[in-house]
Copies of this chain bind each other. A is one copy, B any other.
Amino acid sequence: MISPIALLTDFGQEDIYVAAMKAVILARLPSISIIDLTHNIAPGDILHGAFEIWRIRPYLPQGTTLVGVVDPGVGTQRKPIAINFPGLCCVGPDNGLFSFLLETEPEHIAVELNRSEFWGAQVSSTFHGRDIFAPVAAQLAGGISLDEVGDEFSSPFRLPRSRLEVTPYKAITGEILHIDHFGNLISSIGCLNYTGGGLQFSSWLGDQEPFEFKQEQVRIQLSDAKPLMLMESFGAAASGQPLAYIGSAGLLEVAVNGGHAAQIFNASRGDPITLTF
């Protein structure tokens, strides 16, 4: 049984670009399972792609090969790369798309895909997803080892770190990282976990000492809106009312029960958010 291949792109769904990658993969591995992570990353939005790859990471089956193609620099000097993490191999451009994994999983090996014998027969200048990443990923998923497809290199490109600042005994400040399909605002504040009677904070970016604090006095300040209380889930707020809660990735989120928080708060990615305790 071969582990699945997961695909994330900014190709949208009007064209056959995603299908071309799948066709290339299935021509080599006819019975492999392919998981579409999402293909609706906004064109060139590497940060969103990187965040989604981080969010899905804990749930990917052991041995998954993930192909990520948000690649505005295709055909330029940016490297095509593959990175082995424990139980996960990522294939794509060296432009920051795997940043959050690189930050949070120091145990990894990166290679530059510089062995063209593993690429497609013809390589276009504008579609490396089809011509380099998909064929290499299929071969890696099929059992070829990382050191065969390219030479190791250090320091794959990383995006700037997300904002996440702790004021001891007082507050955690972050930013809105993503607005999801429901209009929920997902922040960089986390990971948070309920413990007996309190909350534990342990930085998802791995750069802070974990600590605990009590829940009663927690307030969440989003830009200049009225402070919000931390609640369990959407239904704990009255219909149409806002709430803050620990989202399904362990990050602090803000929603409106039955509404679209981003529109109601006129919020944007990058907006500051603070949790005081």
Contacts and interface: CB of A to CB of B under 8 A. Distances in A.
Q: Which size class do A's interface residues fall under?
A: 35 or more
Interface in A232-271: 232-236, 245-248, 253, 257-258
Contact of A19 (B17, B36, B257): B36
Copies in the complex: 3
A248 B127 contact: yes
A181 B12 contact: yes
A182 interface: yes
Given A33-B26, A56-B23, A61-B23, A233 B125 contact: yes
A126 B75 contact: no
Interface stretch (A39-47, A107-115, A205-213): A39-47
Given A23-B56, A245-B126, A30 B181 contact: no
Instruction: List 9 tightest A-B contacts by C-beta distance, closest first.
Output: A75-B233, A12-B181, A76-B235, A127-B248, A125-B233, A27-B61, A23-B59, A124-B248, A16-B56
Interface of A: 1, 3-4, 6, 8, 11-20, 22-24, 26-27, 30-31, 33, 35-41, 43-44, 52, 55-56, 59-62, 64, 72-76, 124-127, 130-131, 180-182, 232-236, 245-248, 253, 257-258
